[in-house]
């Protein structure tokens, strides 16, 4: 299978290289640059990302070492991993620290523990990730193993894992502890953060089986299968002991079935999808080039004066399209204001209900409990509301992004159709789509929004005690039970009100940033498409005015390129068919719409 994958990848590379040459020959400089600087490197550097998740003290580091075949990642009795670690193939073991400011620092294997463990003297939130290179056979075929801190850790690293690494992962291994299977916190993380977009790439590992006997192992596995099957059809679960594998007892470790599954899953399942996406992208590029050939062929059939008139009309249509996109960006702003209004309404309702309920809740408990726990009770309630509201806002903005991108696609399609009707013969028109705009926008939007909301909620809750401190200090100073409750009922509602005043603007800031990014994305997509069309028009006009090209010779050259594009298109169809037929019972490839490339 791996040989087939590499061969098909080479075929796709040659196809994209030839498309870049044709784009250059047609005067489409922007498309040529895009293919050479973005699409070809993306295909060449395409890696399989395998992300390892699990709570603290579940044996993630031991498991990672078992996958690698040697103890590379520091292991200890206490929770160890404090950074995100990228483990990649290298002929020699080495490491480097990558900072959030883009800085890099080479470190030795002996220094590793100082940078990646909780006890390490160099551990810092300023570390983006640590990259470890190691000559492991598992990693040789461009696989990156991502070792993560515990998912029950509240920090920026966990936020990045949740909202950046997991959505981009090709496979996610969630490590469970066979001595305490599926704790409530694990179930919550799986249901809230994993299942929505990652159902088809989840793998569960029930580890530490060397700590229980055979009967208990069977019970633990049955329990995991029963409860995971309730939320995930046919869950992939492997029961194993990473420690036994490291110690040489491979036969009884349970690692072999998992390693075999990973080999098949990464190279066959995810590799097929990776190549199919690249092939579909190439087909869209071919559609764009064929449309441009149609425009140039149409220009050859016109006099210079007629061509000038048609081009002028097309430019007016392009300006109209630009105006439509400007209106769309204004609509995004208006919709963003509506989301902010929803948050303000929800916050007023929450603060009102919470403030009204507090006095009765204070009366219902002992005065000393009020004194001891009031501030934490307020903190927890605000965190609960903020997390719920954050999820709600995320869904609203994601829906907005999808709707706006669809309208942008329709606008771009109408623009291309208008250009074709003026300059291209009917038989050369191509139905153009920009399907990946929706996908790209969704990825950037969800990742940025999720990370921002997560960090904001936790940072705000941590600072809430500071906001409420002056008011709640009055409660803490009281000695008599009656006075404690009296002051609590007086001061606590005011503390809630002030906290509400603080949290509202922060939510609005998050929404505004999202809206700005979505507006920039739409504007960039439109500008890139208009620039590409303008390049074709400018080239056609220049050639006609200079009489540099004989119409018959130029038309024959265009026919040759069109024929070559048709052959490339057919070859891509055959390649995609092979990709999906290679899997037993594989589904046929999804229909690929020819058209403008993602950034065309």
**Residue 36 in contact with residue 13, Cβ under 8 Å?**
no
Residue 85 has pLDDT above 50, yes or no: yes
Pairwise pLDDT comparison (458 vs 11), residue with the higher score: 11
Question: What tokens were used for 481?
Answer: 């039970």
pLDDT tens by residue, 16-52: 999 999 988 888 777 888 788 778 887 887 778 888 8
Where do runs of H (alpha helix) occur along 424-480?
436-477
Q: How confident is the model at residue 73 (pLDDT cuts 50, 70, 90)?
A: low
Residue 566: what pLDDT?
Answer: 92
- Spatial separation of the C-alpha atoms in residues 192 and 391, rounded to whole Å: 10
Pairwise pLDDT comparison (245 vs 42), residue with the higher score: 245
> Could you give the dihedral angle defined by the CA atoms of residues 516, 103, 126 and 66, in that order, rounded to the nearest 10 degrees?
110
Pairwise pLDDT comparison (425 vs 385), residue with the higher score: 385
**Residue 592 in contact with residue 576, Cβ under 8 Å?**
yes
Which of 121-130, 281-290, 565-574 has the weakest average pLDDT? 121-130
pLDDT tens by residue, 130-184: 888 888 887 887 788 888 776 655 444 455 555 567 766 778 899 998 888 888 8
Q: How confident is the model at residue 411 (pLDDT cuts 50, 70, 90)?
A: confident
- Spatial separation of the C-alpha atoms in residues 487 and 481, rounded to whole Å: 10
pLDDT (mean) for 370-378: 77
- Burial (CB count within 10 angstroms: exposed 0-12, middle 13-18, buried 19+), residue 354: buried
DSSP state for residue 106 in the 8-state scheme:
E
Question: What tokens were used for 111?
Answer: 């220094």
Pairwise pLDDT comparison (164 vs 316), residue with the higher score: 316
Q: How confident is the model at residue 466 (pLDDT cuts 50, 70, 90)?
A: low
Residue 431: what pLDDT?
Answer: 41
Q: How confident is the model at residue 212 (pLDDT cuts 50, 70, 90)?
A: confident
Residue 111: what pLDDT?
Answer: 63
pLDDT (mean) for 351-374: 83
Report helix angle 551-581 to 271-300, nearest 10. 160
- Spatial separation of the C-alpha atoms in residues 66 and 258, rounded to whole Å: 11
pLDDT tens by residue, 571-598: 999 988 888 776 555 444 444 444 444 4
Of 249, 228, 230, 137, nearest to 176 (Cα)? Answer: 228
Residue 208 has pLDDT above 70, yes or no: yes
- Burial (CB count within 10 angstroms: exposed 0-12, middle 13-18, buried 19+), residue 320: middle
Pairwise pLDDT comparison (338 vs 274), residue with the higher score: 338
- Spatial separation of the C-alpha atoms in residues 180 and 14, rounded to whole Å: 52
- Spatial separation of the C-alpha atoms in residues 314 and 320, rounded to whole Å: 10
pLDDT tens by residue, 251-267: 888 888 998 888 777 76
- Spatial separation of the C-alpha atoms in residues 243 and 240, rounded to whole Å: 9
Residue 116: what pLDDT?
Answer: 55
- Spatial separation of the C-alpha atoms in residues 477 and 404, rounded to whole Å: 55
Residue 240 has pLDDT above 50, yes or no: yes
Coil, strand or helix at 483: helix
pLDDT (mean) for 231-251: 86
Half-sphere exposure of 106 (CA within 13 A, CB side): 3
Which of 13-17, 452-456, 590-594 has the weakest average pLDDT? 590-594
Strand order in the sheet with 85-89: 104-107, 94-99, 127-134, 85-89, 143-147, 48-54, 171-177, 202-207, 236-239
Task: Give whichever of 310-314, 343-347, 365-369, 441-445 has the largest mean pLDDT.
Answer: 343-347
| Direct distance between the N- and C-terminal alpha carbons of the chain, in angstroms, rounded to an integer | 33
Neighbours of 511 (CB within 10 A): 22
Percent of the chain with pLDDT over 70: 74
**Residue 51 β-bridge partners:** 146, 172
Residue 519 has pLDDT above 50, yes or no: yes
pLDDT tens by residue, 20-29: 999 888 887 7
Residue 133: what pLDDT?
Answer: 85
**What's the sign of the alpha-carbon dihedral 195, 168, 33, 277?**
negative
Residue 340 has pLDDT above 90, yes or no: yes
Where do runs of H (alpha helix) occur along 230-268?
242-246, 250-253, 255-264
Tell me the pTM. Answer: 0.58
Pair type for strands 171-177 and 202-207 = parallel
Q: How confident is the model at residue 448 (pLDDT cuts 50, 70, 90)?
A: very low
Q: How confident is the model at residue 400 (pLDDT cuts 50, 70, 90)?
A: confident
Residue 79: what pLDDT?
Answer: 40
Residue 442: what pLDDT?
Answer: 40
Using alpha carbons, list the distances in angstroms from residue 288 to 169, 376, 422, 435, 461: 30, 59, 16, 13, 50
pLDDT tens by residue, 291-301: 778 777 777 77
Task: Give whichever of 215-224, 308-317, 403-412 has the largest mean pLDDT.
Answer: 215-224
- Spatial separation of the C-alpha atoms in residues 351 and 166, rounded to whole Å: 34
Q: Work out the widest C-alpha separation in the chain, in whole angstroms.
A: 102
Pairwise pLDDT comparison (15 vs 40), residue with the higher score: 15
Using alpha carbons, list the distances in angstroms from residue 465 to 175, 361, 373, 382, 469: 35, 20, 12, 11, 6
Q: Give helix then strand counts, H and E, for the chain.
A: 19, 9
Mean pLDDT of the chain: 74
Question: What tokens were used for 265?
Answer: 């899953």
Residue 350 has pLDDT above 90, yes or no: yes
What is the phi/psi pair of residue 203, to 5°?
A: -130, 130
């Amino acid at each position: 299978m791996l040989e087939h994958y590499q061969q098909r990848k080479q075929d796709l590379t040659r196809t994209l290289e030839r498309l870049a040459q044709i784009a250059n020959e047609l005067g489409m400089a922007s498309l040529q640059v895009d293919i050479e600087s973005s699409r070809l490197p993306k295909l060449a550097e395409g890696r399989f990302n395998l992300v390892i998740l699990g709570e603290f003290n579940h044996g993630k580091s031991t498991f990672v070492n078992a996958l690698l075949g040697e103890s590379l990642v520091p292991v200890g009795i206490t929770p160890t991993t404090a950074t995100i670690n990228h483990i990649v193939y290298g002929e020699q073991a080495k490491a480097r620290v990558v900072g959030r400011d883009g800085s890099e620092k080479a470190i030795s294997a002996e220094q590793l523990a100082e940078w990646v463990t909780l006890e390490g003297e160099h551990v810092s939130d300023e570390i983006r990730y640590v990259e470890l290179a190691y000559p492991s056979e598992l990693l040789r075929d461009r696989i990156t193993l991502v070792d993560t801190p515990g998912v029950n850790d509240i920090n920026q690293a966990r936020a990045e894992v949740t909202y950046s690494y997991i959505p981009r992962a090709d496979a996610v291994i969630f490590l469970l502890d066979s001595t305490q299977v599926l704790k409530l916190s694990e179930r919550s993380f799986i249901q809230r953060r994993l299942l929505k977009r990652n159902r088809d790439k989840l793998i569960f590992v029930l580890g530490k089986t060397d700590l229980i006997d055979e009967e208990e192992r069977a019970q633990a596995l049955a329990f995991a299968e029963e409860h995971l099957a309730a939320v995930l059809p046919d869950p992939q679960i492997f029961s194993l002991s990473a420690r036994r594998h490291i110690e040489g007892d491979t036969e009884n470790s349970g690692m072999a079935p998992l390693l075999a599954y990973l080999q098949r899953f990464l190279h066959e399942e995810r590799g097929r999808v990776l190549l199919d996406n690249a092939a579909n992208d190439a087909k869209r590029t071919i559609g764009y080039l064929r449309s441009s050939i149609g425009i140039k062929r149409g220009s050859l059939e016109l006099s210079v004066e007629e061509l000038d008139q048609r081009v002028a009309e097309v430019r007016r249509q392009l300006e109209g399209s630009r105006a439509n996109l400007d209106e769309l960006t204004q609509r995004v702003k208006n919709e963003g204001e509506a989301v902010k209004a929803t948050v303000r309404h929800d916050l007023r309702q929450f603060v009102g209900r919470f403030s009204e309920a507090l006095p009765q809740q204070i009366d219902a408990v002992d005065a000393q409990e009020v004194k001891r726990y009031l501030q934490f009770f307020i903190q927890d309630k605000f965190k609960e509301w903020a997390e719920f509201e954050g999820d709600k806002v995320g869904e609203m903005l994601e829906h907005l992004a999808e709707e706006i991108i669809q309208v942008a696609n329709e606008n771009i399609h109408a623009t291309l159709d208008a250009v074709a009707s003026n300059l291209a013969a009917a038989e050369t028109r191509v139905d153009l789509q920009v399907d990946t705009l929706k996908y790209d926008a969704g990825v950037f939007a969800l990742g940025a929004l999720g990370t921002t909301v997560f960090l904001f909620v936790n940072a705000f809750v941590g600072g809430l005690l500071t906001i409420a401190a002056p008011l709640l200090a009055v409660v803490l100073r009281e000695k008599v039970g009656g006075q404690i409750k009296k002051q609590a009922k007086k001061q606590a509602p005011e503390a809630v009100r002030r906290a509400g005043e603080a949290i509202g603007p922060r939510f609005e800031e998050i929404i505004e940033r999202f809206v700005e990014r979505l507006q920039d994305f739409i504007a960039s997509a439109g500008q890139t498409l208009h620039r590409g069309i303008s390049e074709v028009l400018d080239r056609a006009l220049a050639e006609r005015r200079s009489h540099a090209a004989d119409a018959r010779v130029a038309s024959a050259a265009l026919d040759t390129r069109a024929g070559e594009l048709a052959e490339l298109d057919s070859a891509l169809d055959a390649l995609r068919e092979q990709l999906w037929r290679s899997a037993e019972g594989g589904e046929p490839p999804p229909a690929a719409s020819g058209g403008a490339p993602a950034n065309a």
